[in-house]
Amino acid sequence: MHKIPSRIIDFHVHLFPDKMSDAIWDFFAREYRLDILYKFYWRARGVVTIVYSNYAHRQGVAEGLNDWNLQILEENPGLYCFGAYHPDDPNALAYADKLLNHPRVLGIKLHHHVQRFHPHDRRLFPLYELICTRKKRLLLHAGSGPLGNEFVGFDHFKKLLAVFPDLPANIAHMGQFEYQEFMHLLDDHPALYLDTAFSFFKEQQNKGGYSLGSGPLEQYKDRILYGSDFPNLILPRDSELETLSACSLSDDFYRKVFYENAAKLLGLDPEA
């Protein structure tokens, strides 16, 4: 993995309270017959810079999750967070507005597949307006993979962009399985980024992994962020790093995707 830089900012990590992590891992095993390899709880030592997220799988849990987020952000200065939100919570918008005051809360995570509402659901429009006004970001699981249903997919996301063309959002998993469609959005929507989570496992290259070749990766290297999806992985984390290294892309690609693009979004000096 000689191409992978020594400095990495991971922009797609999942952290939850312990009992919620247990419930998520049990759900994967029960519903999808998928066993999570890294059943590690949130406590991390020696962390340099990690961007994590969590999401409210149902009404009534977002505020508790975000109170927990604020606590662990204070305990770990190298962590940054996309917080939880559910549009059916009575005080959802007011709480989100307060949450965004924290300098290391980057914005809000919406997992449309799990939360079961469309990206263009009008209940979310006040949140999108708030995010834009506060100059924060969204992390959206909006593509049709790795797991999908009727609430995700490129066509749904296009409906959202028709209303909010300047939406500042990171698209998880590079929009899997619709890589080409989501990458083409980067031409006309400068506030969009893609993250690499679960897109480059060598074991998945013939099963929906990224397969467009090196050209688009080089073309959009300023708008791609490395993400591991850790710890909710069913395949070894090193597999993706080995695949990316084997692509033999430019040094500029690896430097930007693994560190500099993330540092820019976090307001850090990429040269520091």
Report the pLDDT value the prediction gives residue 237, as an integer from 0 to 100: 79
Residues 84-101: what's their mean pLDDT?
A: 98
Residue type, 116: R
Assign domain 10-15+47-266 to its CATH architecture.
Alpha-Beta Barrel (3.20)
In the Cβ-directed half-sphere of 34, how many Cα atoms lie within 13 Å? 14
Highest mean pLDDT among 7-11, 44-48, 151-155: 151-155
Is-contact 154 174, C-beta < 8 A?
no
Residues 10-26: what's their mean pLDDT?
A: 76
Residue 117: Cβ-neighbour burial (10 angstroms; 0-12, 13-18, 19+): middle
Report the pLDDT value the prediction gives residue 33, as an integer from 0 to 100: 61
Angle at 216 between CA 213 and CA 220, to 5 degrees: 145
Residues 6+ apart with CB under 8 A from 58: 86
Report the pLDDT value the prediction gives residue 152, as an integer from 0 to 100: 98
User: Does residue 40 surpass a pLDDT of 70?
Assistant: no
Between 15-29, 37-51, 159-173, the lowest mean confidence (pLDDT) is in 37-51
Confidence tier at 47 by pLDDT (50, 70, 90): very low
**pTM more than 0.95:** no
Q: Is 52 helix (H, G, I), strand (E, B) or coil?
A: strand
Confidence tier at 36 by pLDDT (50, 70, 90): low
- Residue 164: both structure tokens together: 């909010």
